[in-house]
Amino acid sequence: MREKQIDRIIKFLLILALICLVLFISLVLYQKVFYPAKLSVQSACMDISEEDVNEMGYYTSGSFTVNCSDSENIQTNITIVDETDKRTLKHELIHENQYFKGNLYGCNNKLGKYLNEVEAYTFSYLPDKIFYRIYDEF
- What is the C-alpha to C-alpha distance for residues 127 and 136, in angstroms, rounded to an integer? 14
User: What pLDDT is attached to residue 78?
Assistant: 82
User: What pLDDT is attached to residue 122?
Assistant: 93
User: What pLDDT is attached to residue 80?
Assistant: 84
- What is the C-alpha to C-alpha distance for residues 96 and 66, in angstroms, rounded to an integer? 9
Amino acid at site 1: M
User: What pLDDT is attached to residue 71?
Assistant: 66
Kindly list the averaged pLDDT for each block of 10 residues, start to end, along the chain of length 138. 84 94 92 90 79 78 79 77 86 90 90 94 91 78
DSSP 3-state of 90: helix
CB 41 within 8 A of CB 34: no
**Residue 93 burial by CB count (10 A; 0-12/13-18/19+): exposed, middle or buried?**
buried
Which DSSP string do the residues of 18-81 spell out, in sequence order?
A: HHHHHHHHHHHHIIIIIHHHHHHHHHHTTSS-HHHHHHTT----EEEEEEEEETTEEEEEEEES
